[in-house]
Structure 1
Amino acid sequence: MKVHQLTMRRSNKRCGLHVCLRHAMRLARWTGFFPLQGLGQAYADGTRYKIVSLYFIYNFTTLLGQLVMSCFAILLFFQTEVTLNSISNVIFYVTSLISAVLFLKLAKQWPRLMARATETEQGLTELKLQNKVIVKCCVIAYVAMALALVEHILCTSFNLTFVMHCLKEAEITTNVMENYVVHRMPYVFKYVPYSLFWAFLFEYLCLQSTFVWSFNDVLITCFSIYITAYFQNLNQVVTANSKKNKDNMIPWSTLRVHYSKLVRLVKEIDNHISSFILLAFFTDLFYICLQLFNSLHRNYASFKFCNELQTKQALTSPSYLLYYLYSFIFLVLRATMLSLFASNVHCASLEPVHAVYDVSSTLYDNEVRRFQLQLHHTKVGLTGKFFYVTRNMVLKVIGTIITYEIVLLQYTITPNPYYNGTKVILNISSHSYS
């Protein structure tokens, strides 16, 4: 009997938001960006943020590593000529460092956010989160990060092949590995002497930065799916309620209170992830524009053992074409996924208004009128600090990208092919996106 009562009590405390996001957040924890205990449990009340833990030590070393990489990129930026390559390195690592700090802050606030979500869900007596929403969040998280890993592997494979081709090596040797790492990360090994330890360490830090850049989009997408599901469920209940007779209908005051609770939950979530949204839109927009620029300028940072002919051969190879197309398509699809799912929150919050305005005159009362006014005057949606994520905003972003492309087509200038004996152009890597 006691076991049954404990099970019932725990099931009442089950937090849908925690269940939707715990698998995704475990991926972040495995890579050093989310030092929170209890993510393996199905209940949010088991999550704990502790400074004295292995997860926090791992996260602290990750923060330190991202800080070091950012300093190297900034140092090289100020000591060499300003190029798109140096700018992209700075943006890549600085935004990764900012993301790491934001994830640490989110981990600290996570138990409070889950408690708030649990309280709200328990008050939504007429609404229910379907299991397919949880499955959808998990699938998106794992698939998106698996695709990001494939992109990084393709990038590494092409760069290794390029270095081996230039060195005329048939297999991966110590010389190939050294030149590959120095070629991939000149902003590091200009100041640090090469060794196998430093090579693996900085390569892992680069992989972490690549992960967190993609994961920002996944995090926002999963939050958006969760919020949208509740608003869609509310819309279904409101639509069905408007067609019922007075004896069987749910009181409109109850549905209005449900809507108010969802609005407060959206604002609570937005307070925690608005910085992520701003950062994700900035980085996605920058790298899409960078990809479009590179599509016009087919350029590559020349390797010191490669002449111009060998570089051109590398740029026309199937491995380069595969990597370039895959990375660009993946970037665009990821940005599209983020934009559509985040803007769906705003669209779903407007859907109940149609059913409320269709209420018959015999059922119309003050509660229905209050609900109408609340739906009409309340703007609901995720924000990026300074803007609401709506479909109109997404269209403006697309228009900005198209305008950028048209300007590039009109003012394409052939770059100076040499600078100090090497080409001053972009390096192909998973973060500089050439």
Structure 2
Amino acid sequence: METVTNKRLHIFLRHPLQLCRRAGFFPVEGFDKETITYLRFNMRSGYAVYHVTTLVSQIILACLSIYYFFQNDLSLDNLKNLLFYITGLISALLLSKLAKGWPRLMRRASRIEQLVAEVPHKSSKNWKQDKIVYVVMLFALLEHILSITFQMKVVMHCHHDFTIDLNLIKSYFLRTTPVVFGITSYTEWKAVLYEIANLQATFLWNITDAITMCTSLYLASYFKDLNKLIRRHEKQNAVNWKEIRVFYSYLVELVNAIDENMCYLILMSFFTNLFFICIQLYYLTRVFESWEHTLYYAFSFIFLFTRASVTSLLAANINTLAQQPLIVLQNVAPSEYTIDVQRFIRQIRYTTTALSGLFFYITREMIITVTHS
């Protein structure tokens, strides 16, 4: 029978991945169960039709944005639409790839969790991992609503018509959706399908950060528990450094296993956040056309910057916590300075334990470098 100790990753990531599944991007069954036994990648069910339809809609949006971009003059709006839909498609494909290997990753993580089960920890059921994904998505929905409201106000002012009717809605889509209605004729059913696909693309943009946050909280919780164990044994003058080093090695293996599966998704998340933060900052610094303009771009920039910052800091905290045993190791008494202590010091100093974006490790030093550059 599975216990809490060998399903912590499942607990931490159930909620964001359940949302991914409901949005059509994660064909894995079993998230409604509290154990990992029922997790399986299944493309032979009714859900597979929904998943494939979702991917096709993102492919169509990406292709239309590419076509529109090369058929029109280069502009910031065209570049923004191009990157938004292309990165959305790439994120969707990466989530599908992650889904395919998810049951295997859960089994590997469960095995490692069993190996470090002797490290005491508090219950994984707490507010952070259960609610953080819903907080992120709630603010994302609010940002999307403000965007629609702002664009609708612009259309109203342009047409001097403040009555919401089908003509106004048509004008709204013609203005805000050139990648679709600048290429094809406008019809209501196309507008409805586009809005659904656009909401899914917006969902992708936000859920990748939520997944990274929950994963970071999960990994950080283990290093926090290990550091508490070291401090407790240090006070009792009974630190078994060989055992601690073995536990630490298992945690490094766990970080690497998760990073192997998620590094591409993290890279896409960081690139998308950086680009759109710069875009929204540019629009925010332009001459304010109305209070709706100010409200939308200010909220959008603050939300994006906060979300990206929290994601980065939570991920960087893994590396920070993984370095903390060095503080105790550097003050070990000469009589206790064994070969295991030496090996542990070298392991921490010469091994970067952190999540990565494929080409970079997420550490506080990296965040400071990016901030200052």
Same fold (TM over 0.5): yes
1:265 aligns with 2:257: no
- The CA deviation string for residues 397-417 of structure 1, in whole angstroms up to 9 with x for no partner, is 2223xxxxxxxxxxxxxxxxx
Q: Distance in 2 between matches of 1:147 and 1:389?
A: 25
| 8 A Cα contact 2:315 2:362, kept in partner | yes
What's the counterpart of residue 47 of structure 2?
A: 55
- TM-aligned CA deviation for residue 54 of structure 1: 2.7
179 and 36 in structure 1: CA distance in 2 versus 1, 3 angstrom threshold: same
Does 2:360 align with 1:390? no
Q: Say if 2:102 is the partner of 1:110.
A: yes
Contact 1:36 1:55 in 2 (8 A): no
Pairing partner for 1:42 from 34, 38, 42: 34
* Residue number in structure 2 paired with 1:289: 278
Counterpart in the other structure of 1:366: 339
CA change 1:133–1:325 in 2 (3 A) is: farther
Residues 25-40 of structure 1: matches in 2 within 5 Å?
A: 25-40=17-32
- Would the aligned equivalents of 1:14 and 1:42 in 2 still touch at CA under 8 Å? no
Matched with 2:190 is 198
Q: Please report how far the alpha carbon of residue 284 of structure 1 lies from its aligned counterpart in structure 2 after TM superposition.
A: 1.1
Structure 2 residue identity aligned to 1:57: V
Q: What letter is aligned with 1:330?
A: F
Cα deviation 1:70-103 (Å, max 9, x = unaligned): 1111101111111111111111000000000000
Which of 230, 240, 255 is the equivalent residue of 1:251?
240
Partners of 1:199 and 1:32 lie apart in 2 by 20
* 2:325 alignment counterpart: 352
Q: Which of 181, 188, 202 is the equivalent residue of 1:189?
A: 181
Larger radius of gyration: 1
The one-character-per-residue Cα deviations of 1:287-317 (angstroms, maximum 9, x if unpaired) are 122223223434xxxxxxxxxxxxxxxx532
Sort the Cα spacing of 1:18 and 1:132 in 2 relative to 1 into closer, same or farther, 3 A: closer
Q: Distance in 1 between matches of 2:370 and 2:242?
A: 39
Aligned-residue offset at 1:370: 2.2
1:21-420 correspondence runs (5 A): 21-131=13-123, 134-245=126-237, 249=238, 251-298=240-287, 315-400=288-373
Rounded Cα–Cα distance in structure 1 between residues aligned with 2:126 and 2:192: 36
C-alpha distance in 2, partners of 1:270/1:236? 24
Q: What displacement does 1:383 show?
A: 1.0
* RMSD after superposition: 1.7
Give the whole-Å Cα distance in 1 for the aligned partners of 2:4 and 2:79: 51
Shift of 1:116: 0.8
C-alpha contact 1:242 1:358 (8 A) present in aligned 2 = no
11-20 or 269-278, which deviates more: 11-20
Residue 12 of structure 1 deviates from its aligned partner by 6.1
Residue 61 (structure 1) shift: 0.8
How far apart, CA to CA, are the structure 1 residues paired with 2:217 and 2:20?
19
Range that drifts further, 253-262 or 156-165: 156-165
Q: Distance in 1 between matches of 2:112 and 2:127?
A: 21
CA distance in structure 1 between the partners assigned to 2:4 and 2:87 by the alignment: 39
CA contact (8 A) 2:27 2:51 kept: yes
Change (3 A) 1:359 1:378: same
Q: Any gaps of 5 or more consecutive residues in structure 1? A: 1-8, 299-314, 401-434
2:46 & 2:329 partners in 1: Cα distance? 52
Report the TM-score, using the length of structure 2 for normalisation. Answer: 0.95
AA partner of residue 298 (structure 2)? L
SS of 2:246's equivalent? helix
Q: What residue ranges of structure 2 are gaps of 5+ in the alignment?
A: none
Rounded to whole Å, the distance in 1 between the matches of 2:235 and 2:337 is 12
Describe the superposition over 1:98-136 as per-residue Cα deviations: whole angstroms up to 9, x where unpaired.
Answer: 000000011111101111111111111332443367531
More off after superposition, 97-106 vs 349-358:
349-358
Query: CA shift at 1:253, angstroms?
Result: 1.7
Deviation at 1:67, TM superposition (A): 0.6
Structure 2 SS opposite 1:45 = coil
